[in-house]
Chain A
Amino acid sequence: MSEASPARSSPASPWAIARRRFLGHWQAMLGLAVLIVLGLLSLLSPLIAPLDPSVDLANRLQAPSAANWLGTDDAGYDMFRLLLAGSRVSLLIGFLSVGIAITLGTVVGAVAGYAGGRADALLMRIVDLFLSVPRLVLLITAVALLRPSIALIVIVLGLTGWMGVARLVRGQVLAVREREHVLAARALGYRPLRILFRHILPNVLTPVIVAATLGIGNAILAEAALSYLGLGVQPPDTSWGLIIFSGQDRMLDAWWITAFPGILIALTVMAFNLVGDGLRDALDPRHAQ
């Protein structure tokens, strides 16, 4: 390892160093490649492979073939197109719900960690309360009481997924707020919110980015579980979990209806986890090895 020389001319920001390390992480690159292909297919699917909404009973339950690469389901839909349509919903739910969870968790954790005292105690008891209720039970209750919709699933997944982030951020803020540069910022008369959002939070974001990436995989799994139980996405919308749900009666004679969305879920979640691990290794070198 070489000492950073004081007069090094190339302006290597911490981000540039992390980027180089990330790009050299082959597992993460593999995961990223999977996500890029999936993301592009998903985004472009209305153009390249739109789903014909009419039921085609003459063509139902076809095994994979040249005409239908992944077969057809029991309404005659092409599985490939159906899965792409489902991917849009599954990924959307994954990203949006994690977006809510990360935002909420970061704000709660940051305020608790920086304010300390009674605010901290109160916020952390709320976290404990949320953590003590099994997520799926909360999900099922919410969906049973209200009409299931994509928006509801996003909100409920977001509202049940923020506690880990809150704890993570709180711990990091507690550590960073004792650093001398935060004292220096206070000695300069900066306002508490400026100190929190400009001088503390950017220093705790890296584990949050990792948590977000790993969280998307989890949210996709949760959505699949919910839709599989019939409490998630409702037709005419579709998602990977819903496709598995619709095919479970035909698992023996039409295995492709359940197998392909299952494989796709596993592949996607694994890809997010690989990218998440790669980000962790790149952003927090102490963690690697």
Chain B
Amino acid sequence: MKKLLIAIIVFVNCSPIQAQQEFTKQLTDARTAYTGGKLDDSRFAMQQMLLELDIITGKEVLKLLPVKMLDQSQNAAADNVSGTSGFMGVVIHRDYGVDAKMINLEIISNTPLLTSINALLSLPLLGNTGDMKVVKVSGYKALIQKSGSSDKPEFELQLPINSSLVTLRAPGYTRDQIIQMANTLPLSQIAKTLQ
């Protein structure tokens, strides 16, 4: 257990350094290729720079997230920043608790694929029909969707911030509880870090 904790601490602290070194390397490559007229190589290096930036930013966001969500503690080993920068965005993942009471928090950063949810939020008639409800969390509009059976409903909250999307899934909890959880997220700071 002690070894695992040490490994996690080393990983969390070292990977940003690696990402920073990678960013600097790609920056040099982009400059060299551009000066040499190799425009596509320069562009490729810049794409890698964006990816490194998204990973570093993701790690910064993880540091901002609460270590507890209601009665559940975070699973530090499950913290993850993955995906491809650019069109699909990078996924920042943290979960809390175990089994049936597991709470999943995912933030997809810098993705242009947010138009559908923004449409739902801007049209109250659409966003407040059936199993969907628009609510406010720390001043931000969010969409809560209900799924599962009527006796055992599951709730999911989606909250767009600029070109990023925060998704909170909490099966086994009520709608009010998921709003309560979302309210513990430092959304302004997350928005500032991801801008």
Partners in one complex: no
Listed in ascending order, the chain B residues whose CB lies under 8 Å from chain A are none
Listed in ascending order, the chain A residues whose CB lies under 8 Å from chain B are none
